[in-house]
Amino acid sequence: MARNSGQTAGKKQGRATHARSVLVLVATRKGAWLYHSDATRSEWRADGPHFLGHTVNHLVLDPRDGRTLLAAAKTGHLGPTVFRSTDLGRTWKEAARPPAFAKAADGKEGRAVDHTFWLTPGHAGEPDVWYAGTSPQGLFRSQDGGVTWEPFSPINDDPQYRKWMGTVQDGTPDGPKLHSIIVDPRDRAHLYFAMSGGGVHESLDGGRTWVPLLKGLEVVEGFDRSEATFHDPHCIRLCPSNPDRLYQQNHCGIYRLDRPSDEWVRIGKSMPQPVGDIGFPMVVHPRDADAAWVFPMDGTSVWPRTSPEGMPAVYATRDGGKTWRRLDAGLPAKQAWWTVKRQAMTADAADPVGLYFGTTSGELWSSRDEGRRWTCIAQHLPEIYAVEAAEPA
């Protein structure tokens, strides 16, 4: 269970930042793009493609220096790697030792990283630490800014965790993934991660030991919810303004967790029934822990994973999930069958908050007013896998 910071769950107001510029990082199936804007966020300049032809699963700016970028990449032919830039993408250098599992003992079947899926910068007090999550599920750490990576043996090689990870058939169509690696901003040793499949997990000792965090989460009907392997969290976010509050978009609904409780509450039950509470991404407000956004998809019958009824919309809550409001002004009103993947929706830290999402059909959408009005700022990109908003130095 998480340590109690003394904060109570609920609304916490933070202070708005005054961004000089905003950078939106777009990772796609066939390369990466950087979109630059000033504080008005009204005009965008495209920089790309970077790594044309590479599948880029995540592109992240280090908030601790505002200029180091890490890109998780691979191609159809070649194995996975991590590229690093210290000049906002003008030049790139490959990691000297990308994330890779330990070599198996003779006679044992060892695992190989297919792709690095998720990148998380470490705690502000550990400026060179990064975490990575891979497919198949693995957790990795770098202590030198992403140049060399070491496996987390308590997860990657632990018999219980290996059982919970299941096989490649227990994950997404693109392989089982470890994602949503979260570092508590108050405590560098307090970590969370999630696995699709394999559930949500927490460590209070910097990753030496881990425990599942599954109470309250539902699983597909007929399966045992006490078994981590049957849990499929899609995306988890910690509220920067109240680190005791987490939101989760799961295969089986939308949830909120208020520590020190260890029981998730299904807040998606209050979504409109025809839309439901199935989706991939989860976005939280940088200063208001009661505000969050989701992008629902069709999770009925054979799971089309498209916008419900072909009418895409963001849904927002301003009261911690008690009520939800549809936000679709500017989005296509009909016959739009795309969706938004788990890493492909995010918020900036400006006031009002800017929201961004990328679609499976290669469109990049933004809102400068917390979702009230949407504008398409790029189209005809490859399938978008991840979108991050950042403030460069």
Partner 1 sequence: MKVHIPSALRSYTESSEAEASGATLGAVLADLDRRYAGIRFRMIDEQDRIRPHIRIFVNGDQVRDLVQPLRATDEVVIVQALSGG
Residue numbers at the binding site for partner 1 (CB under 8 A): 75-79, 81, 94-96, 98, 100-104, 110-113
Q: How far is the CB of 109 from partner 1 (least distance, A)?
A: 8
Q: How far is the CB of 97 from partner 1 (least distance, A)?
A: 8
Question: How many degrees, rounded to 5, is the angle at CA 311 between CA 374 and CA 60?
Answer: 50
Q: CB nearer to partner 1: give 51 or 324.
A: 51
Q: What is the DSSP string of 311-379?
A: ---EEEESSTTS--EEE-TTS-SSS------TBSEEE-SSSSPPEEEE-TTS-EEEESSTTSS-EEEE-
Helix (H) or strand (E) holding 132: strand 130-135
Q: CB nearer to partner 1: give 78 or 302.
A: 78
Q: CB nearer to partner 1: give 72 or 283.
A: 72
Residue keyed to tokens 């999770």: 299
Q: How far is the CB of 305 from partner 1 (least distance, A)?
A: 19
Cis-peptide, bond into residue 216, ω within 30° of zero = no
Cα 328 to Cα 79, 140, 313, 334, distances in angstroms: 40, 38, 5, 11
Q: How far is the CB of 60 from partner 1 (least distance, A)?
A: 21
Handedness of CA 55, 24, 141, 171 (dihedral sign): negative
Q: CB nearer to partner 1: give 95 or 331.
A: 95
Q: How far is the CB of 127 from partner 1 (least distance, A)?
A: 25
Q: CB nearer to partner 1: give 38 or 150.
A: 150
Q: CB nearer to partner 1: give 45 or 108.
A: 108
Q: How far is the CB of 94 from partner 1 (least distance, A)?
A: 5
Q: Which two tokens stand for residue 242?
A: 């109240």
